[in-house]
Amino acid sequence: MKLLLDSTRCQGYGLCQEPAPEQIDLDEWGYAQLRDGDVPPDGEEAALAAVAACPNSALRLVK
């Protein structure tokens, strides 16, 4: 799976980073930055939680 970020939709709430800190960093203003778009099998649940936590639908998972 791949985690994708639409940075134009990100509003810097930082809610996505809490469930997936291994996959998502936040910049100094709280905007999401993906560490690596490839989601390891053991990180899929965290990535799904990060997608669900984003109030602006800036994240999505694709196969």
Mean pLDDT (whole number) for 8-21? 96
Q: Parse the chain into domains and list their residue ranges.
A: 2-57
C-alpha closest to that of 32 among 20, 40, 44, 49 = 20
Say if residue 7's pLDDT is above 90: yes
Q: What is the pLDDT of residue 60?
A: 97
What's at 51, amino acid-wise?
Answer: V
Q: What is the mean pLDDT of residues 1-17?
A: 96
> Which option is the CATH number for 2-57: 3.40.50.2020, 3.90.420.10, 3.30.70.20, 3.40.50.720?
3.30.70.20
